[in-house]
A = this chain, B = another copy of it.
Amino acid sequence: MRMSEGVEWAAHCCLLLSWIGEDGPVPATRLAAGFDLPAPYLNKQLQALVRAGIATSTPGPRGGFRLARPLEQITMMDIVTAIEGPEPAFQCTEIRQRGMFAGSPESNFRAPCAISTAMRKGEMAWRRTLAKQTLADVNAAATGGLPDLPEQIRAWYART
């Protein structure tokens, strides 16, 4: 089970947008250059952020992407859901109702499958933990040891 690398890209781009996006939208090509990523594929991840209401996009030659809301209001869970979708990683296919159990009375299956319940508990813990961490928390951790990081990046953006 592997999460799309788009999650890493999208989270980094959100931080980057919070640092360089104050004066106007940032083109996907600039964000891609910032991390040496393929622009067309990064653009797909950015469009997913737009669909999720995390970013906005402006068309046209001076267009690009901006954050739709402050970092405090974007959680790591929001990013994961935007890129990976809302479906659970473990999807119960109810094999307990097949084979030897085919034709069993429906009442046997009224309670949810215990295996599915156990797996769901794990995913809920994962989701809750990601939902508690905002990009503002992540930003504070990232810039804690490197307080001039945003300034360095604004300088890079102005220069290139």
Contacts and interface: CB of A to CB of B under 8 A. Distances in A.
Interface of A: 1-5, 7-9, 11-12, 15, 32-37, 76, 84, 87, 89-93, 95-96, 98-100, 102, 108, 110-111, 113-119, 121-130, 133, 137-139, 141-142, 145-146, 153, 156, 160
Q: Is the interface of A mostly helix, strand, loop or mixed?
A: helix
Select the residue from A33, A92, A119, A139 with max chain B CB neighbours within 10 A: A119
A140 to B, nearest CB: 8
Given A1-B3, A76-B122, A129-B121, A146 B37 contact: no
B84 A1 contact: yes
A89 B89 contact: yes
B133 A121 contact: yes
Contact of A100 (B2, B95, B153): B153
Nearest to A112: B141
Contact of A156 (B37, B100, B116, B145): B100
A114 B138 contact: yes
